[in-house]
Amino acid sequence: MLRTFREHHIRTTELLDGPWDFLKDPSNVGVEEKWFERFPHASHSMYVPSCWNNELNLFDYEGVAWYRKTIRMEEAQHVRLIFHAVLGHSDVYLDGQHLGYHYGGYTPFEFVIPTLSAGDHELVVRTDSTLDRLTIPTKHVDWFHYGGIIRPVELQRLPDLYIEQLKIDYELNGCDAVVAIQVRISSLAKTELTTALTLVEGGREIHSEQVQVDAGQTVNCLVKLRWTDVRLWNVGQPELYTIQARTDFDDKMDRIGFRKIETRDHRILINGSPVYLKGVNRHEEHPDWGFAFPAKLMHKDLDIIRELGCNAVRGSHYPQSPYWLDLLDEHGMIFWSEIPMWGAFLPNETVSEPLFQERALTMIKEMVGLHYHHPSVLFWSVHNEIDSRTQEAYEMTKRLTTLVKELDTSRLITYATMHPLEDILLPLFDVIGINKYYGWYEGEVNGFKDMLQQFHERAEQMGAGDKPVLMTEFGGAGIFGDVGWESRLFSEDYQAEIISEALAIFRHDPKIGGTFVWQFADTRGDLKSNGGFFRDRARSFNNKGLVNEYRKPKQSFREVRRIYRSWNDET
């Protein structure tokens, strides 16, 4: 499943899920030997979508691997191939011809092939999951280095005139809205064509016009409508509108929610009312599925998070599945979306590298494009735990935040810092996130009090004293089942104790606008026997989850549930 609703009723779509021929290429000889023209015999198949590291004998494999799938066309047609997420570097070939390259991991990329002939066609994908000093994330990152085609591959059959994009914007004045709907119609025809363009909301026609498109050209149609008494989306009030753009040949549907996001008095406001965020950090990861997270498990995760009393989720640390965001939209939950720039071990010299910055800018563009219509998304986050004390970090961050403002002015720009008392980036953001682990990596839990007092004073001096502050990471590890008479490191008892004490401190600080416990579930760590990083990860897992990797609750889950459910959303 791509979404919780159908995006097309007229356009024919097909998921290429299932077994693909699969080959490792540890020596990286496939391009030189032209595997894209003559694919070697593959003794192994790999299910798509999946992570290869979840298969036998591939657990530790990081590097190049190739996939092949035969697609059949019963007649010549225009085709759109969408890869909804492939980890790392991707080169795509069709019948031996290079369609293009993409770098990323958690956002879609696509190719339009005009008039693909009838018959069988060979689709080949070269992937490379290798992390290095210029990849995002870089080589040393606190999650497992999975590889593979992790989200579906979709084949769409396009008409001569097809809807390339549907983009919906609005401006709210109370419960009245000016809605701007942009429909981009592209031609793959050899002659001029005319079509009716109809816009439909909730089964009701709201606009119709005739559109003429010259051969091989693109037309942008912008329709502005005034709606009165719109139902507003809010926490626990998931009011949604479905809008369809339809032509004589094609259609496209998407969904929005009307809400206004502001900040005032150290709080996040939705539709003018303050909301205190009660959240968790969630990796979209499971030991049996990796990042190829099934929709059924998303439903279970959401049920558990709602049971916890949360109204918010931080998407740690990459754009997560649109299906997951659909669920959050439908349940009135807040989402924090970020790109996978994890910086605890990010060399400062790397942030000045042009390639590194260009990759980050591209990831931001793709993230915003992917999640633009989801009302649950309140925050665009540009990085996590980089060295935010340097001028190099400031210059890069300024580029990233400037781009976000160009792409979307309706949401808040944020980040998470691990250097709150030395950070020089505070004025660049709408909201500041702080990651600190008193009681675990440093000192006692009470250390939060002095740190926050110093931070608020410093923020005031920097002209950022009015910005909402969120505690975006805190907590400690607790190994599931390790309980006893005393509270000690790695026990469930100690984990529950330090989290509950930290939450009490944050709730009594009027300048803290919300909390995101680290983390929802235990996740697989990147441990190597010959490596010097993350040696504190017992069981090879980051054990800071409120539930274990199989979603079984720890004492900390019950403690956070008690606390979160005792708090009102509004302050």
CA dihedral 71, 73, 78, 79 (to 10 degrees): -20
- Whether residue 405 is predicted with pLDDT greater than 60 in this model: the reply is yes
CA distance 403 to 461: 27
Using one digit for the tens of pLDDT, what is the confidence trace for 9-65?
999 999 999 999 999 999 999 999 999 999 998 778 999 999 999 999 999 999 999
Instruction: State pTM to two decimals.
Output: 0.96
pLDDT of the residue at 571? 44
- Whether residue 569 is predicted with pLDDT greater than 70 in this model: the reply is no
Q: Where are the beta strands (DSSP E) in 307-376?
A: 312-315, 334-338
Using one digit for the tens of pLDDT, what is the confidence trace for 88-135?
999 999 999 999 999 999 999 999 999 999 999 999 999 999 999 999
Mean pLDDT score, 400-423: 97
- Whether residue 379 is predicted with pLDDT greater than 90 in this model: the reply is yes
How confident is the prediction for the chain on average, in pLDDT? 95
Q: Where are the beta strands (DSSP E) in 86-187?
A: 88-94, 97-104, 109-116, 119-128, 153-158, 161-173, 176-187
Q: Which amino acid is at 136?
A: I
pLDDT of the residue at 537? 85
C-alpha gyration radius of the chain = 24
As a residue count, the chain comes to 571
- Whether residue 435 is predicted with pLDDT greater than 70 in this model: the reply is yes
Indicate the SS3 state at residue 453.
Answer: helix
Is it true that the peptide bond before 317 is cis, omega within 30 degrees of 0? yes
Question: φ, ψ for residue 498 (rounded to 5)?
Answer: -70, -35
Helix axes 295-308, 322-331, angle to 10 degrees: 40
The neighbour count for residue 118, using CB atoms within 10 Å, is 11
Phi-psi category of residue 327: left, alpha or beta, with phi > 0 → left and psi -120 to 50 → alpha: alpha
Mean pLDDT score, 388-399: 96
Binned at pLDDT 50, 70 and 90, residue 529 comes out as low
The neighbour count for residue 34, using CB atoms within 10 Å, is 11
Q: Could you please report the per-residue DSSP string of 19-30? A: EEEEEE-TT--T
Indicate the SS3 state at residue 360.
Answer: helix
Using one digit for the tens of pLDDT, what is the confidence trace for 126-166?
999 999 999 999 998 989 999 999 999 999 999 999 999 99
Contact 197, 209 (CB under 8 A): yes
User: Domains along the chain?
Assistant: 12-158 (2.60.120.260), 161-249 (2.60.40.10), 274-566 (3.20.20.80)
- Whether residue 532 is predicted with pLDDT greater than 80 in this model: the reply is no
Contact 547, 301 (CB under 8 A): no
Using one digit for the tens of pLDDT, what is the confidence trace for 328-357?
999 999 999 999 999 888 988 999 999 999
Using one digit for the tens of pLDDT, what is the confidence trace for 237-268?
999 999 999 999 999 999 999 999 999 999 99
SS (H, E, C) 361-384: HHHHHHHHHHHCCCCCEEEEEEEE
The H or E element containing residue 399 is: helix 391-407
Tokens in use for 147? 């590889």
Could you give the residue ranges of the DSSP H alpha helices within 430-536? Answer: 447-461, 492-507
437: Cβ contacts below 8 Å, ≥ 6 apart:
473, 474, 475, 476, 518
Residue 466 DSSP symbol: T
Helix axes 492-507, 447-461, angle to 10 degrees: 40
CA distance 123 to 71: 7
Task: Give the residue, 448 or 535, on which the prediction is more confident.
Answer: 448
**Which residues, in sequence order, are bridge partners of residue 282?**
315
